[in-house]
Amino acid sequence: MAKSTLTKITTTVLAPAMAVGALVGLASAPASAAVWNSCDQWGSTSLNGYTLYNNIWGSGAGSQCIWANSGTNWGVWANHPNTGGIKSYPDSKKVINKSIDSLGSLTSNYNVSVPSSGAYNTSYDIWDTAHRYEIMLWVNKTGPVGPLGTSQGSVSLGGHSWTVYKGTNGSNQVFSFIRTSNSSSGTVDILPILKWIKNTKGWFGNETIGDLQFGFEITSSSGGLNFTANNLTVSSS
């Protein structure tokens, strides 16, 4: 299980993962039959070098099912109640396992379809191998959600403009980059962001980047909503 959802909204104190009730059958399969789907709380599979997680980790969660046509094309149907607190972070993960200084490049392309209602963010969640630091890049958000910590001002990095927040969840330092306007597709040059944290701000050293995740951090999706990663790729050298 990826500990990828420990940082987030300002409206509630985070709770540890709790068991959820029985989940309904897959409610939002794509038009053509998916190669994999799961409604299990911790359902996961590996496809094309990516690991997919259903990852229903929060207290008071409802039903959620994940499907995938490939490691880069997948989605979820989620029906979580209109209450505070993060319910889930369905995501895809790419393992990097390189130090920041040894990386020549680290980029990602994203293209998503997300609902106009509910409360959620679409985000990258990047971890060092020791899980001392978490770097979040929010490319869009809807509803009453917000990052942990305090604002550190704005910066343009990696092809986007962000408002930066710095905080701690009690277990690790969290650096959140919130895109100043919502985006459903684009390219993020991630390495300059990591180097800015390391070299310009001095918030960490030459950390080894482990898991790079991308997904939908869902607080509420009452009635059932669809979240789709039409295409999500990560490349590094």
Tell me the average pLDDT across 108-137.
98
Q: Tokens in use for 164?
A: 């930066």
Q: Give the tens place of pLDDT for each residue, 11-56.
A: 333 333 333 433 444 444 454 569 999 999 999 999 999 999 999 9
- Can you tell me the distance from the alpha carbon of 139 to that of 130, in angstroms, rounded to the nearest whole number? 25
For the chain, the average pLDDT equals 90
The model's pTM is 0.87
Domain-wise residue ranges, the chain: 36-236
Residue 107 phi, psi dihedral angles, 5° rounding: -135, 160
pLDDT tens-digit map of 56-107: 999 999 999 999 999 999 999 999 999 999 999 999 999 999 999 999 999 9
| pLDDT for residue 19 | 37
Quick check: helix, strand or coil at residue 102? coil
**Residues 170-185: tens digit of each pLDDT:** 999 999 999 999 999 9
% of the chain residues with pLDDT over 70: 86
What's the CATH number of domain 36-236, 2.60.40.10, 2.60.120.180, 3.50.50.60, 1.10.8.50? 2.60.120.180
